[in-house]
Amino acid sequence: MVVAAADGGERAPAVELIGIDKRFGAVHANRNVNLRAEVGSIHGIVGENGAGKSTLMSILYGFYQADRGEVRVRGQRVRVTSPREAIDAGIGMVHQHFMLVDPFTVLENVMLGAEGGPLLARGREEAARALEALEREYALDVPLDGVVGELPVGIQQRVEILKALYRGADTLILDEPTGVLTPQEAEHLFRILGALRDQGKTVLLITHKLKEIMAVTDRVAVMRRGEMVADRETAATTREEIAELMVGRKVLLRVDKTPAKPDRPLLAVEDLRVVDRRGVERLKSVSFQVRAGEILGIAGVAGNGQSELLAALAGIAAPASGRILIDGQPVPAGTDPHAMRRLGMAHVPEDRLRDGLVPPFEARENIILGYHDDPRYNTGPLFDRANIRQSCLQEMQAYDVRPSDPELPAANFSGGNQQKLVVAREVERDPVVLLVGQPTRGVDIGAIEFIHRRLVALRDSGKAIVLVSVELDEIMSLADRILVMFDGRIAGEMGQEAADERVIGCMMAGVGPEEMAPEPHHVGAE
Partner 1 sequence: MAGRATLPRWVDIGLIPLINLSLALFVSGIVVLIIGGNPIRAVGLLITGAFGDGQMVPHGEAIGFTLYYTTNYVFTGLAVAVAFHCGLFNIGGEGQAYIGGLGVGLVCLYLDFLPFVLIVPAAIIGAAVFGGAWAFIPAYLQAKRGSHIVITTIMFNFIAAALMVYLMVNLLIRPGQQSPESRAFAEHAVLPAFHEILGAIGIEVARSPVNLSLVWAIVACVFVWLFIWRTRWGYAVRTVGQNTRAAVYGGISPANTIIMAMLIGGAMAGFLGLNAVMGEHHRLLLNFQLGYGFGGIAVALMGRNHPLGVFLAALLFGILTQGGGELAFEMPQITREMVVVIQGLVILFAGALENMFRPRIAAYFLARSERTQAAT
- 385 sits near partner 1 (criterion: CB under 8 A): yes
| Closest among 284, 278, 281, 351 to 314, alpha carbons compared | 351
The CA-CA-CA angle for residues 381, 382, 387, to 5°, reads 130
For partner 1, which is the closer residue by CB, 344 or 513?
A: 344
For partner 1, which is the closer residue by CB, 88 or 355?
A: 355
For partner 1, which is the closer residue by CB, 364 or 452?
A: 364
CB of 356 to partner 1, least distance (A): 6
Contact 124, 84 (CB under 8 A): no
- 355 sits near partner 1 (criterion: CB under 8 A): yes
**Of the candidates 408, 432, 511, 516, which one interacts with partner 1 according to CB under 8 A?**
408
Q: What three-state secondary structure class fits 365?
A: helix
Peptide bond into 403 cis (omega under 30): yes
- 402 sits near partner 1 (criterion: CB under 8 A): yes
For partner 1, which is the closer residue by CB, 354 or 522?
A: 354
For partner 1, which is the closer residue by CB, 9 or 25?
A: 25
CB of 25 to partner 1, least distance (A): 5
- 347 sits near partner 1 (criterion: CB under 8 A): yes
Per-residue b/e over 487-520, b at no fewer than 16 CB within 10 Å? ebbbbbbbebeebeeebbbbbbbbeebeeebeee
Q: What three-state secondary structure class fits 370?
A: coil
For partner 1, which is the closer residue by CB, 13 or 50?
A: 50
CB of 7 to partner 1, least distance (A): 44
Beta bridge partner(s), residue 494: 482
Cβ neighbours for 118, distance < 8 A, ≥ 6 positions apart: none
- The 3-state secondary structure of 242-297, one letter per residue: HHHHHHCCCCCCCCCCCCCCCCCEEEEEEEEEEECCCCCEEEEEEEEEEECCEEEE
For partner 1, which is the closer residue by CB, 126 or 407?
A: 407
Burial of 121 (0-12, 13-18, 19+ CB in 10 A): exposed
**Of the candidates 370, 488, 492, 513, which one interacts with partner 1 according to CB under 8 A?**
370
Binding to partner 1 in span 300-339, by CB under 8 A? 314-316, 336-339
At 428, give phi and psi (nearest 5°): -70, -10
For partner 1, which is the closer residue by CB, 219 or 425?
A: 425
**Of the candidates 158, 341, 364, 481, which one interacts with partner 1 according to CB under 8 A?**
341
- 383 sits near partner 1 (criterion: CB under 8 A): yes
For partner 1, which is the closer residue by CB, 177 or 439?
A: 439
Site size with partner 1, rule: CB under 8 A: 43
Indicate the angle between helix axes 445-460 and 415-427, nearest 10 degrees. 10
CA 40 – CA 238 distance, rounded (Å): 23
At 368, give phi and psi (nearest 5°): -110, 5
**Of the candidates 285, 378, 394, 477, which one interacts with partner 1 according to CB under 8 A?**
378
CB of 71 to partner 1, least distance (A): 24
Indicate the angle between helix axes 183-198 and 153-166, nearest 10 degrees. 20
- 16 sits near partner 1 (criterion: CB under 8 A): no
- 241 sits near partner 1 (criterion: CB under 8 A): no
CB of 413 to partner 1, least distance (A): 5
What does the binding site for partner 1 look like in residue numbers (CB under 8 A)? 25-27, 50, 314-316, 336-341, 347, 349, 354-361, 365, 368-370, 372-373, 377-378, 381-383, 385, 402-403, 405, 408, 412-414, 417
